[in-house]
Amino acid sequence: MHTTPFTHKLFPLVSLGLLFTFGCAKEDLTPTENLSATSSQQAKQDGPTVTLDSKQYIIIASGDQLPGDITAKTASANGTITSLLGEAGIAVATSDDPGFAAKAAKIAGVRSVVRDFTYQAFDPQQRSADVAANNVNPPSTGDSNPFFPLQWGHTAIQVPQAWNTGAQGEGVVVADLDSGFDLTHPDLQPNIVGSISFVPGEAAQFRGAGSSHGTHTAGTIAAADNNIGVVGVAPKAKLLLVKVLRDSGSGSFSWMMNGIIYAVQNNAKVINLSLGAAIPRNGKFLNDNGTPNDPSDDFIEHDAKGTQELLVAISKVTGYAAKQGVTVIASAGNDANNGNKDQSLVHIPADATGVISISSTGPMGWALNPLTTNLDRFASYSNYGTSAVDFAAPGGDFAYPGNELVVFRGVRQYVWALDMVLSTAKNGGYTWMAGTSMAAPHATGVAALVIGKNGGQMDPARVKAVLRASADDLGKPGRDPYYGHGRINALRAVSSQAL
């Protein structure tokens, strides 16, 4: 992920940082090292970042629910249930017995038992260079939030016009599943209704390096319209912040599943998943040999069934969410992968049942020509494919070939940085980032506007139908590999006759 942070309270200094992530991770793009990269250069990096956890297992029911005696039966198979997601037919267990999976799979009512996976979503280590801002002033516009004029994504999908219809997400709880969050950020705090961490040993509050991925996605969804900084797409929606990734960017799929169930049970109507991983269908994984902190004994193994069953497990959880009336939206991924030609990967959770997958758009040189620059240019790093993408949304890009600084709407910054998405960051600050992780929250915010306009409750299939009927059909007519059913349009969505 590219990230360019600055702090609202320290205008004389604009801190510029580059955040690198892993190629088979789902959410934050892997930029090229060359900041003058052309748009044809793709954000891609080789090497698996998904590791089998040899001591943690996911138990999958044959039907909708696990047997009532699963805890006792698991103990008899030398395992211990650590979380029971009975509503979705999933349980998570630990065991030191190498034969546990085979034993537990024989329990009546169990479809399969697979090992949990740990994936690296993003690398928080930054390369930074401070740039003097020459005491520039915030933009002066009709909007009282000083950085709103830098939020080109809102312009692209007609968010202000949607607000003018009265749709601002009121009455809708949005769960954002991510890394840690700045829970005291002045742009987020007014809308936070709860927070929780499913990461052992880490609180929901972000305390890591980098700018805080979770804080950024949360701000795009629902930063308050409070005369401070930025404004979220749905500024009157409420945020349920669920930590399922370490601050360092890694996490397990069991944490994600726990987070989804928690969100459903705590009144969320939309879930944002700016996270995940691309899993090889052939099941080629790194096994940590039970020592995750000691890479010296790691080895490669193949478990194609494990890939298939992991998707089944995630789909049970997302399917349960859909049955409970919760819309689930996920980032499509940042590997510039053509799903029409390369079907060697399973993208989780984007490929799971009931999940709306979002690709990314972003301008190139917007600050130089704000009135004529194409805001709907397909992002250089975004995954694509007819079956891989449902909709496109603003996620930003860094493909502008120059490296010059400009003073644009009161802020001195690099041209390519202004093409990215500006949102909230740690320590009450603000940061530019780019990725499908930034696109998904735009779509999630629009879904919140639609649901709020409908009275706060709406079947996910109907939400998707409204988004589809109202999307701007870009690219080839109909569903195409890049924009899916089209780039979402907030105004048209809240004005749709399908509501």
Q: 357 an active-site residue?
A: no
- Separation of alpha carbons 393 and 448, rounded Å: 15
- The encoded tokens of residue 374 equal 């194409």
C-alpha torsion sign, points 208, 212, 218, 223: positive
Q: Is residue 407 left, alpha or beta, with left meaning phi > 0 and alpha meaning psi from -120 to 50?
A: beta
Q: Give strand ranges (E) for 66-220.
A: 80-85, 90-94, 110-120, 126-132, 173-178, 192-197
Going from the C-alpha of 204 to that of each of 61, 144, 309, 497, the distances in angstroms are 30, 30, 29, 40
Backbone angles phi, psi at 199, to 5 degrees: -95, 115
Q: Count the Cβ atoms, other than its own, within 10 Å of residue 87.
A: 18
Q: Which of 15, 248, 437, 470 does the annotation list as catalytic?
A: 437
Q: Count the Cβ atoms, other than its own, within 10 Å of residue 305.
A: 11
Q: 185 an active-site residue?
A: no
Three-class secondary structure of residue 191 per DSSP = helix
Three-class secondary structure of residue 407 per DSSP = strand
Amino acid at 459: D
Q: 39 an active-site residue?
A: no
Bond before 124 cis per omega within 30 degrees: no
Q: Which of 28, 53, 116, 178 does the annotation list as catalytic?
A: 178
Nearest to 165 by CA among 497, 498, 492: 492
Q: Which of 2, 213, 216, 485 does the annotation list as catalytic?
A: 213
Active site members: 178, 213, 437
